[in-house]
Structure 1
Amino acid sequence: MNVAHKHSDKVYSVALEGSRAASSPIAASWRRCLDLHHLTPDERRSPQTLEEAEFRRMRERMAHLVSASSDEIDRLFTMVGRSGCCLVLADRHGVVLERRGVAGDDKDFHRLGLWQQAVWSEASAGTNGIGTALADERAVTIHREQHFLSANIALSCATAPIRDHLGQVTAALDISTCRNDVTDLTLAMLSQAVRDAALRVETNLFRLAFPKARIVMLPNAGSPSALLAVDGDDLILGATRSARQALQIDDQAIARGLPASDALHERRGEEGSDLLEAERAALRRVLSRTGGNVSQAAQLLGISRATLHRKIKRLELH
């Protein structure tokens, strides 16, 4: 029995065994490929490919993603590119928008269809790093025979989803290799590298979405991607998924108007002291700008020097 037939038999055996399909993410993906996408593991098929004009329009729509990802892809490629890996950035539909590869390895990746314009969703290419990470909304590693299609079992993939400023999955970043000596340890290292890069891309996307906001990193959240975008009135404009989970907030809470100090449980004074705190902060900023010169500060504020002295005394600004 050849390798393709053995793989096909294994896919059917595992996917159709209900208990394993429920407990294993790979088996669950294989089951989706059979039941939802109506694929067969031994069919000889390449991923769908978008027409040039459609691809160009899609890439233009995702220009902000490509821009936010470019430096991270380049940085990651310098680490893994010469070890037989290619890097792929795909949108939320699995369309390959960007890729990096070494010319000597490109023949194998092109033959498999891991190229710009190709669609690596589960519906198009079966269980694979990009499609399964997008479907499950989590980082995955798909090692050789874990792919659904027998045509793809030469690939090993480590992939992480990328979330937008609303916390929704918008793309996937993937490292793939055709090397047959890839170990579990190597895949684990590649997976960590691609997850770290994906988080940095998410941070870039978040900052791009709120260019005029103050970006606040949550203390004690356990993730550098736990960020808030805060306006000049201390109201939260946006939050990354990590921040939403840490603070247990959602779009509705943000839309209603949520002060960052409330979300962070910052209580600097007694209830009802918000106006005094705001006045104290405003005076401190002006005095800081004038180097403590009360006359200049009073002039900037449009009040008399005597009035400013009274405020300084009342607010205990010494």
Structure 2
Amino acid sequence: MRTDPTQPRLRPARRGRFAPSPTGDLHPGSLLAAFGSWLLARHDGAEWWVRVEDLDPPREQPGAIERQLRTLEAFGLVSDGPILRQSSRDTAYREALDRLLGSGAAFECWCSRSDLAATGGLHHACVSGPQAGRAPAVRLRIPCGESVAFDDAIQGRVAQDVGTEVGDVVLRRADGFWAYQLAVVVDDAAQAITDVVRGADLLDSTPRQILLQRALGLPTPSYAHLPLIVDAQGRKLSKSTDAVPIDDANPLPALRFAWRALGQDPAALESCTDLAGTLAAAREAFSPACIPSESVALHNTGVAIAS
């Protein structure tokens, strides 16, 4: 096929996503991640999709998925594509794992937590062999000295010696559940996600995901890690007693809270009295350069989160 170099090239479609875990209702910290990822997608002319990361049934709360999706809809944050549930993706994860095992990039491991106590929980070499009655975990092989560096749109240059600091990464747990690292990489590629925007608590996971993308021959999206909302003790809001659910019936206070926590000008939304007008004003006034890289203390935002 021949192309005409004088004709402009079409820009590849861009797509972001928000991927909550159904371990509870959405709180102000998770709203910041949802609203921030939505704003960045809209600012860049990208689609915004929602994925449900329901990989860990023992930690899930009954009805949490439905409540989370209802809250997003009440806030006008509606997925542009079909909502994918990771609990339905077993075949795709098995295919990826089989490829990694077949290439030697992954291996079965019977090591327990007590086996790895001497190395602080890091796995660099197996100390236990096959054991009767126990299923193995599967790990990604990461040699010491295996480093990854990438440019985060908010946090700047990030570098990590994954082999030394993280060790061999679990892809499937010994209890049979899929690990987040494998599922997120497989699903980002399957959904053609080009821009991953999420909380800074996942910043350390990004280098190991990049290594896994390389091992599977998958594209690496761009990354932006938003600031976390923390309480007065500096704890992430999801682990704090301050993590109260946001009010579905009155979304404007919580949206203004998230807007200010994202470093945006509060005056841009002050005159808005309805949801549609607030979202339209936010899209118009949003400035990615104003997003802070540091955590934001809940008590310093100066914005009420409930009516």
**Bucket of the pairwise TM-score, normalised by the shorter protein:** under 0.3
User: Higher relative contact order by CA 8 Å / sep ≥ 6: 1 or 2?
Assistant: 2
- Structure with more of its chain in helix, by fraction: 1
